[in-house]
């Protein structure tokens, strides 16, 4: 079994818990996740199986969408509902002011990772230092918030929002920063990931559903094949004359393509052998006025 499972992570599970359960259900060792979700969060968590584990970083790098509830007027140690309350302030629930403040957080931003996070500083995770009562200076990271859509206002102090963002964005920090900008403070009351790297909540299945499918011998029916995961990439099929070079990870000249393609230098393509077996992801390069493809990520 090689591919990706679109799992809906329920509350109470860590991402590592989900991996352990999938290993047990499928009786496979080669299983991995595509980016952590906190135990209190729920939603889409693609799980890589077999050769699919080689695509985990590509999926993690993809655009993400979250549904969250911002609770204004209360700041916490963890920037979410699980932390201890640090401060409470009365909130003037002005929908217009809230909307304007939210708009200022769309675009390229610099975000300081929260102390309760898995970011490592000098070999130690920030949350480990936070549990020791320590707080250290953190360098801001560049992130992109592509869009924030307010779904509904929930008086007297909550706002439900959908956020489209880049890898590395902390939604609880975004909520805390919006609250700070409004002058009341705030924290993330709930979080659900509704899409990541091309996987959406509409197509996700729970661990319980996967278990039932496996018992019925139908687990492969919900496993998205590698070719399907990579369908948005331009497909290059090479001739049988380059088979040895292909399987040895060599560069392939364009004259060995079964059909000529309009390619650009730096483009990443999926490459198949002459029998339509997926070999890997390759990068397009140009040497001596000719196009070549060279291995970017081998999948064999």
- What confidence tens digit (pLDDT) does each residue in 161-194 have? 999 999 989 999 999 999 999 999 999 999 999 9
Nearest partner of 295 among 260, 252, 242, 265, judged by Cα: 252
Q: What CATH number is attached to the domain comprising 140? A: 3.30.2350.10
**Share above pLDDT 90 across residues of the chain, in percent, rounded to a whole number:** 72
Is 73 in the same domain as 156? yes
For residues 36 and 55, membership in a common domain is answered with yes
Structure confidence at residue 148 (pLDDT): 98
Do 69 and 181 share a domain, yes or no? yes
161 by Cβ neighbours in 10 Å (0-12 / 13-18 / 19+) ranks as buried
Give the 3-state secondary structure of residue 17.
helix
Do 37 and 222 form a contact (C-beta atoms < 8 A)?
Answer: no
Which helix (H) or strand (E) segment holds residue 253: the answer is strand 252-253
User: Are residues 119 and 44 part of one domain?
Assistant: no
Q: Give the pLDDT band (50/70/90) at residue 1.
A: confident
| Pairwise CA distance, residues 284 & 190, whole Å | 43
Domain extent, residue 262, equals 233-298
Residues 218 and 187 placed together within one structural domain of the fold:
no
Mean pLDDT along residues 147-159: 98
Picking from 181, 196, 211, the residue at the C-terminal end of a domain is 196
Residue 115 has pLDDT above 70, yes or no: no
pLDDT given at position 122:
65
Residues 56 and 105 in one domain: no
Is 56 found in the same domain as 202? yes
The predicted model scores a pTM of: 0.88
- Domain boundary residue among 228, 243, 271? 228
Same domain, 101 and 188: yes
Kindly state the average pLDDT of the residues 21-27: 96
Q: Is the pLDDT of residue 272 over 90?
A: yes
Give the pLDDT band (50/70/90) at residue 263: confident
DSSP state of 10: P
Q: Are residues 99 and 181 in the same domain?
A: yes
Shared domain for 202 and 191, answered yes or no, is: no
Which of 177, 196, 215 is the last residue before a domain boundary?
A: 196
Q: What is the mean pLDDT of residues 188-214?
A: 95
> How far, CA to CA in Å, does 47 sit from each of 43, 57, 119?
12, 12, 22
Which residues are CB-contacts of 295 (< 8 A; sequence separation ≥ 6)?
249, 280, 281, 282, 283
Cβ neighbours of 295 (radius 10 Å): 18
| H helices present in the chain, as ranges | 15-26, 56-60, 95-103, 126-131, 171-182, 207-215, 226-229, 243-247
Q: Is the pLDDT of residue 109 over 90?
A: yes
- Indicate the SS3 state at residue 165: strand
CATH of the domain at 246: 2.30.130.10
Name beta bridge partners: 66.
163, 193
Question: What is the mean predicted confidence (pLDDT) over 248-276?
Answer: 89
Count of domains for the chain: 3
DSSP for 87-155? EE------HHHHHHHHHTTSEEEEEPPPSSS--EETTEEHHHHHHTT-------EEEEEEEEEEEEEET
**Beta strands 42-49 and 186-196, pairing class:** parallel
- Does residue 90 sit in the same domain as residue 14? no
| Whether pLDDT at 290 is above 90 | no
Catalytic residues: 38
Asked whether residue 177 falls in the same domain as residue 143, the answer is: yes
């Amino acid at each position: 079994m090689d591919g990706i499972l679109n799992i809906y992570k329920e509350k109470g599970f860590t991402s590592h818990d989900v991996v352990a359960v999938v290993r047990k259900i499928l009786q496979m060792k080669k299983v991995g996740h595509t980016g952590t979700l906190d135990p209190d969060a729920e939603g889409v968590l693609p799980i890589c199986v077999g050769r699919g584990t080689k695509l985990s970083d590509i999926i993690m790098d993809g655009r993400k969408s979250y549904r969250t509830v911002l609770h204004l007027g209360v700041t916490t140690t963890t920037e979410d509902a699980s932390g201890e309350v640090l401060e409470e302030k009365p909130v003037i629930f002005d929908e217009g002011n809230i909307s304007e403040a939210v708009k200022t957080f769309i675009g390229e931003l610099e975000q300081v990772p929260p102390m309760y996070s898995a970011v490592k500083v000098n070999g130690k995770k920030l949350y480990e230092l936070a549990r020791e009562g320590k707080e250290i200076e953190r360098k801001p990271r560049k992130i992109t918030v592509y869009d924030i859509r307010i779904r509904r206002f929930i008086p007297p102090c909550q706002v439900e929002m959908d956020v489209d963002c880049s890898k590395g964005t902390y939604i609880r920090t975004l909520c805390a920063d919006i609250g700070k900008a409004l002058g009341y403070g705030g924290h993330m009351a709930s979080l659900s990931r509704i899409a990541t790297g091309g996987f959406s909540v509409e197509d996700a299945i729970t661990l319980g559903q996967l278990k039932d499918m496996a018992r019925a011998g139908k687990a492969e029916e919900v496993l998205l094949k590698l070719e399907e995961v990579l369908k948005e990439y331009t497909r290059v099929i090479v001739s049988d004359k380059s088979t040895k070079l292909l399987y040895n990870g060599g560069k392939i000249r364009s004259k060995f393509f079964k059909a000529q393609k309009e390619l650009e230098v730096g483009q990443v393509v999926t490459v198949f052998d002459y029998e339509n077996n997926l070999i890997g992801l390759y990068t397009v390069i140009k040497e001596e006025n000719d196009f070549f493809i060279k291995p970017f990520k081998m999948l064999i």
